[in-house]
Amino acid sequence: MGTQWAVLVAAFLASAVEFVEAFTIVLVVGITINWRSAFAGAAAAALALAALVGVFGTALVRTVPLEALRFAVGILLVLFGLKWLKKAILRFAGLKAMHDEEAIYEEQLAEMRARGEHHQQRFDPFGVVTSFKSVLLEGLEVAFIVITFGSAADSIGSAIWGALAAGVLVVLVGALARAPLQRVPENTLKFIVGIMLTSFGTFWGGEGIGIAWWREDLFLPILVVFYLIITGLLILWLRQYAPAKHAEVAASESAAGEALS
């Protein structure tokens, strides 16, 4: 039961990040061109994703031995998690600009207006393709997270419910706010997800090569704490090399993330 909840939470957090990014692009298309084109592209991408996952996802789960799958998934998750952690560490240390969803929204909006895009009632090919591409790319990452988490932990249902809950929440919040989700602490969210991906990857990769973890699934929280300590120390060490302005922004967002957690 504990593993199922851990998979659900991990899938929810990781999927929420991808849904936020996809929603930002769809929002730009809807406001700048029209909602018909935005929704058409998003719906087409959802159908394509369902077909891809239905064909390749099921085949992957049924044909690959669980031990080999856990090892492969563990390596992939560690690499994926370390990639997210690297960005999060650099941002919280002040060595990299914070990810700003509102700034991305404004940039996308300015680019579309510069091309002369404007509101119209008919389907717009550019709007449909832009929405399709964003939802498909982010959706593939969600599908990867769901399949790998669910298969490796033998709890595909929990991963699916976590991803669905994240998708519904992002859509509902976005529909109510009608604005970019700039209030979501995405940098903090990516940091947490990076910790979880790396921890799960280490755990499953170790199982794949025959490591018997102490207390089995109960060892996962120990891995999480271990990576939290390591990344925290790295952030404190690197912050001394950051420009003063970036360091202040990173420190303020880090404090905000701690207050929310």
User: Could you read off the pLDDT of 111-138 as tens digits, one per residue?
Assistant: 776 766 555 566 778 788 888 988 887 8
Is pLDDT of 100 > 80?
no
> CA separation (Å) from 47 to 167, 189, 190, 254?
15, 28, 27, 38
Do the beta carbons of residue 210 and residue 71 sit within 8 Å? no
Residue 252 pLDDT level (bands cut at 50, 70, 90): low
Q: By C-alpha distance, which of 19, 2, 1 is closest to 145?
A: 19
The alpha-helical segments, DSSP class H, found in 2-124 are 2-32, 35-52, 58-63, 66-93, 101-114
* pTM score over 0.85: no
Residue 19 pLDDT level (bands cut at 50, 70, 90): confident
Instruction: Provide the residue count of the chain.
Output: 261
Looking at per-residue pLDDT, the higher value among 202 and 25 belongs to: 202
Do the beta carbons of residue 139 and residue 44 sit within 8 Å? no
**Predicted pLDDT at 253:** 54
Is pLDDT of 193 > 60?
yes
Q: How many CB atoms lie within 10 A of CB 163?
A: 25
Average pLDDT over residues 217-243: 89
**Predicted pLDDT at 185:** 63
**Predicted pLDDT at 102:** 60
Residue 53 pLDDT level (bands cut at 50, 70, 90): confident
Secondary structure class of 64 (helix, strand, coil): coil
CA-CA-CA-CA dihedral for 256, 96, 88, 49, to nearest 10: 110
